[in-house]
């Protein structure tokens, strides 16, 4: 696992000062009927840890700690893996993308090794936000 703090120190992409949190998300909340949330959130804490949330009803942005984090300061390329347990066994969110000024863009692959017929890939565009402005209603 590459330590994100070390790699971000010389980055052309500023993620904020130490002891801070940067949030990127496309979260949408159904405020009229169920209150459920959908979308994805990436939180970068203290420029050293990444937490990823797949919102499938849940509105919490706590997320799961990412593994295999790689960040290339010159290009802004970022990738990470987040394991999760599914009905078909241990599965993984795999993200490959780029950190830009106000967003993260890339490809999310949902990988089910024990049953590849469920595998799915989608393009993500997550915008930088704050916890106060995170929840948008549909």
Per-residue pLDDT of the chain (138 residues; tens, 9 = 90+): 343 333 333 333 444 344 588 899 999 999 888 989 999 999 988 666 899 999 998 899 999 999 999 877 678 889 999 999 988 889 999 999 999 989 999 999 999 999 999 999 999 999 999 888 888 787
* Residue-number span of the structural domain to which 57 is assigned: 4-137
Quote the CA–CA distance of 41 and 128 in Å, as a whole number.
10
- Counted domains in the chain: 1
pLDDT computed for residue 23 by the predictor: 93
Quote the CA–CA distance of 43 and 126 in Å, as a whole number.
11
Give me 16's structure tokens: 């904020």
pLDDT computed for residue 3 by the predictor: 37
Radius of gyration, alpha carbons of the chain: 15
Give me 45's structure tokens: 């804490």
pLDDT computed for residue 110 by the predictor: 96
Instruction: Give the domain CATH number at 14.
Output: 2.40.128
Burial class (CB in 10 A: 0-12, 13-18, 19+), 82: buried
């Amino acid at each position: 696992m590459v330590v994100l703090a070390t790699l971000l120190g010389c980055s052309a992409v500023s993620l904020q000062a130490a002891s801070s949190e940067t949030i990127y998300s496309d979260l949408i909340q159904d405020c009229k009927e169920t209150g459920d949330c959908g979308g994805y959130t990436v939180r970068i804490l203290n420029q050293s840890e990444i937490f990823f949330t797949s919102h499938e009803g849940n509105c919490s942005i706590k997320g799961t700690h990412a593994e295999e984090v790689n960040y290339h300061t010159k290009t802004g390329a970022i990738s990470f893996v987040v394991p999760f347990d599914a009905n078909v066994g241990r599965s993984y969110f795999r993200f490959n993308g780029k950190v830009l000024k106000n967003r993260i863009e890339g490809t999310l692959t949902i990988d089910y090794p024990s049953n590849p017929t469920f595998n799915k890939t989608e393009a993500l565009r997550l915008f930088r936000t704050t916890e106060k402005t995170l929840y948008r209603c549909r």
